[in-house]
Structure 1
C-alpha cells in the first residue's frame, strides 16, 4: 500500500514537471513574418511577444519612442524575443524585418530598428538610409556596449533597452544635429504634388474615349454581315488580349485588396499617368484588332477586304501615338497587302483580253463556277478561289486556287479528291463507367463526302472518382502590413554585438 502511494505521488510529480516544461517552451520565430507588428496590433512601437519586458518597461519604452518620433523625427521599432531561426544570422534577419515593416517615412528613410534575441545573447541596430549619417555604425556600437550589454548580462533587458533609446534621443537632440534632423523631417512631411499627375491621367482617359469612338467610326461598315463566318485571326488575338487585360486587372485588384491595397499605396503618384497610358494602349490595340475582325467578316471577297482595310489603316495610323503596339499590326498588314497585290492583277482570256474578276461579296457561293467540294473547302478556309470571267465570252472562265488561313487543318480525301478530310478524332461506341472500360474508334471523316477512314479501335479508361474533398490548404501567408509604418528602406547600416 505504501509503495502504491509513493508511485502515485511520483507519477503526479513527473506529470507536473512535464506540464511545467511544456509551458515554459520558448517560441522560435522561423521567419520575419512571424514577428508581431506592433503598429498592426496597435500596441505602440514595441514588439514583446514573449513577455520578456515587463508591462511598465514596455509602456516606458513606447513613450520614449513616441517622443523620439515627434521631436527628432525618427520612427523606431524595438523587438525583444527569445530566439529566431538558427539558419539565419541576426543581421539578415533584422534587415529583412526592417524592410518588411517599412520602418521610417518614404523619401526620408528615417527608420531605426533594435532587435534583441536573449537566447542568442545578441542585439542588432538597423538604420534607414536617412539616419546613416546621424547615427554612424561606430556610435551605435558604443551605445550598445556601454548602455545595453552591462544590463543584459544581469538579465535586465528592459533597463538596457531604455538606457540605449534614451542615449540615442539625447544624442540626436544635440544642437549639431538639429539642421540635419530638420531636413529629414522636411523630407518626411513633404507632400507629393498629385494635381498634375491626376490632370494628366484624366486627360489620357478622355483621349482614350475619343480614340475609341473615332476608330470605331472608321471601320466603315457598308452592309450587314450576311453569312456567319468563323472568327478571324484578328478576332482571336483581340479576344486573347482583352481577356488577359481584364483578368490581369481583376487579379491586381483582388491581390491588392488582400494586402490592404499596399501596392497602390506604394505606387508613386507620378507613375500613375504611365499606368493609365499602358492600360489605354492595350485597350486601343484590342479595339483596333476587333475592328479589323469586323471588316474581315464583312467581306468574303479578299480584294474587297483589302480595299476596306487599306482605307481603315490610312484613316487610323495615328493610333500608334496612343498605342505603340499598333505599329506592329500596321507593319504586318502592310506586308500582307503588298504580297497579295499580284493575286488581283487581271489575267487574259483566250483572245488575250483582260478578264473580269467575280465579286465574291455579290456571288458568295461562286455559282455556277465552283463545285460543291470547292465551296466546302472555302467554308473550311482551306482554299479560297478567285473566279475570272471573260468579258467577251461569258462561258469562258478560270478558277484560281489560293491557300486559305486554315490550309493545314485538313488533308486531301482519297474518295472525293477535295482537301476536306478532318484530322483524327475518337468516337465513343460504348461509354465507360466507374467499374467498366468503354470502347471507341479513332477515325477520320471527310466533310464533303461520306468517306470514313478507320485508324484503330481504342479502349476508354474507366471513370475516376472525383475527389471533392481535395483541400487547398494554401497556408497563411502572414504578411505584415507594410504600410503600418511609413514605408522606409535601409541599406543595412547599423551595428550589433553580443554579451
Structure 2
C-alpha cells in the first residue's frame, strides 16, 4: 500500500512538472511580456532585461520573439514541440511571418531557435547554431541560464537590427599567414618605436657625433649615428628581408628567432660599453659614480631581463650585486692615499648633521661615511631613496618635506568647480606650505535616464502575437 502511494505521488508529481502546449502561460496575452517562465528558471531582472530588448526590437523591426523556458516537456521531441507551440501562439506578423521562438528545455539540456518563414533569410540555421554554441551553451554548461538566454537574445537583436553583423558572424575566417602577421607587427609596433627612439636620442644630443651633444659622464655609452642606425634598423631589416624570400612555412618563427638572437648580441655590445665606463671610473677610484651609473641602468636591465630571460634575467641580479659590491669597495684617501674604512651605521652618526640623521630616520636617504685610518679624513656619500614620499624642503633642503594632508574648501557642484587645499610640511624644520587646487565640477550620469525605460516593456495590459507561421526552420543545440 505504501509503495503504491509513493509510485502514485511520483507519477503525479512528474506529470505536474511536465509542460504541455495548453498549460504554458502566454505572457504576451497576460502582461505583454515576451518571456514565459512558468518554472521560475530565470530571474525577474533577466526577464525585465529581455523584455526591454525585445520590445525595442519589435518597435524598430516588427519582429516578434517569444522566449519560453521550461523544466520539462516529458518525452516530447523539442523540435516538434517548438513547431506546435509556434503554430498555437502564431508568433510574428501575419503576412511577414517574422517570428522567432527561443525554447529551452532544462531536463533535456536542449535549446532551440525556431524561426518563422520571414526570418529564415536573416536567421538561417547556421546562424542560429552559431549563436547557440558560442553564446549560450557555454553559459548553460555552468548552470548560468540567465546569462545564456540573455546572451542569445542580445546576439539576435544585433543581427536583426544590423544584417551585416550576421555576415561577419558566420563568415569564414580570413586565413593570414604567420609571415604576414609578423610583418604587420613589425610595421605597426616595432618600426614606430625605433623611429621615436632615434628622434629622442637625436633631439637630446645622445649620439657620439651630435652637433650639440648633451651632457653626460658616460660618453662611452654613445654610438655614432650610422652605427646606431646600422645596429637597430638596417641589420634587423636585412634579416627580415632575407627571410622574405624563403618558402619555408615557418619563416616567421625562424625570422623571430634570428631577430631575438641578434638583439641579444646588441645587448652584449651594450655590456661591453658598460664595462668601459666602469673601467674608466674605477681607474680614478670614483666608486660612488660607478654605483650611480649602475643604479641608472637598473630599470633598463630589468626590462631586458623580461624580454630576453636567458641570459639577461640572471644578469639583472648580477647587476644589483655588482652595484652593492662597488658601494662597499675599499678606497684610498684623497689626501694621504691611506686606506679608508666604511663606518658602521652606529659609528657614522657623529659625523652626520641633525638633518642627515633625520633623513636616515625617515629612510628618505642613506649615508655612507668613510674614514681614513691615517689622517682621519672623512668622505661622505648620499644615496637618496627614490621610492620615498619625502622630497627636499624648499627652506632647509632636507629630504623631509611631504604632503601631510588635504581638505576640501568648497565642494564642486554640477554648475561650478570646487576648491581644495594641500598642506606640505617639513619634518625637520617644521616649514609649512599651504596651496590650493581646483576640483572638477560634477557631471550627470546618463544611467538615471536609461533606468526609467528599463521596465517600460512590462505592462499590466496584455498584448498579442501577430499571426505569424513557421516552416520548421532553425536549429537546436544540447549540452
TM-score (norm 1): 0.33
Greater RCO (Cα-Cα under 8 Å, separation 6 or more): 2
